[in-house]
A and B are shown apart, each in its own frame.
Chain A
Amino acid sequence: EPEVTQTPSHQVTQMGQEVILRCVPISNHLYFYWYRQILGQKVEFLVSFYNNEISEKSEIFDDQFSVERPDGSNFTLKIRSTKLEDSAMYFCASSKRVGQDQPQHFGDGTRLSIL
């Protein structure tokens, strides 16, 4: 069964450094998302992306964050200047199209550790 793949599985970065998290969504999906889960807390929505632009973003997704679909298969999340509080699991998700019975499918996440 097709799946969402994320790399790396674990990223360790010094505070203040830039980090790029990568995702390969399911191939015929058109909607892409990033969520994060801080240890012991809920999964939280960050951003959704469709047709090469952001369709919705949360308050968490500030100017330090950006997303990009650089080619036909990858979807990336960049954090420009990481903070300690950015340490979390970051999940990428994708879905086919608008309408019923088109749920979001998640990857296994990237664990981001900021030192």
Chain B
Amino acid sequence: QKEVEQDPGPLSVPEGAIVSLNCTYSNSAFQYFMWYRQYSRKGPELLMYTYSSGNKEDGRFTAQVDKSSKYISLFIRDSQPSDSATYLCAMSLYGGSQGNLIFGKGTKLSVKP
């Protein structure tokens, strides 16, 4: 069983749509959950960082963590063509500072004008 699973897509949506991206995981000890955005030939750029269960909102982005289901989500409201990128979920046992991150494979998103 893979530790972190993420549908690679590709996912194509029209501009203005709400996008839902998801990851499931198998290790119930994960405590820290992150979403990174990666543009082509660039490094992962941190979008959201969440500890334990619950929701976190930042502008058009909302991250949700459901530890009971081992399921995390990222919602993007009013999606823009500039949101076209690969979205990586990542998680760790310890704080993001010291723990090694376990990544999903990434979902490639395309937002069409």
Contacts and interface: CB of A to CB of B under 8 A. Distances in A.
B88 interface: yes
Interface in A2-52: 4, 6, 31, 33, 35, 41-45, 48, 50
Nearest to A43: B103
A98 B92 CA distance: 13
Contacts of B103: 42-44
B45 interface: yes
Contacts, number: 68
A1 B104 CA distance: 27
A55 interface: yes
Interface residues of B, number: 24
Interface in A61-97: 91, 95-97
Interface residues of A, number: 31
Contacts of A100: 51, 95
B43 A95 contact: no
5 contacts: A42-B103, A99-B95, A99-B97, A104-B101, A109-B42
Interface of A: 4, 6, 31, 33, 35, 41-45, 48, 50, 55-56, 58, 91, 95-109
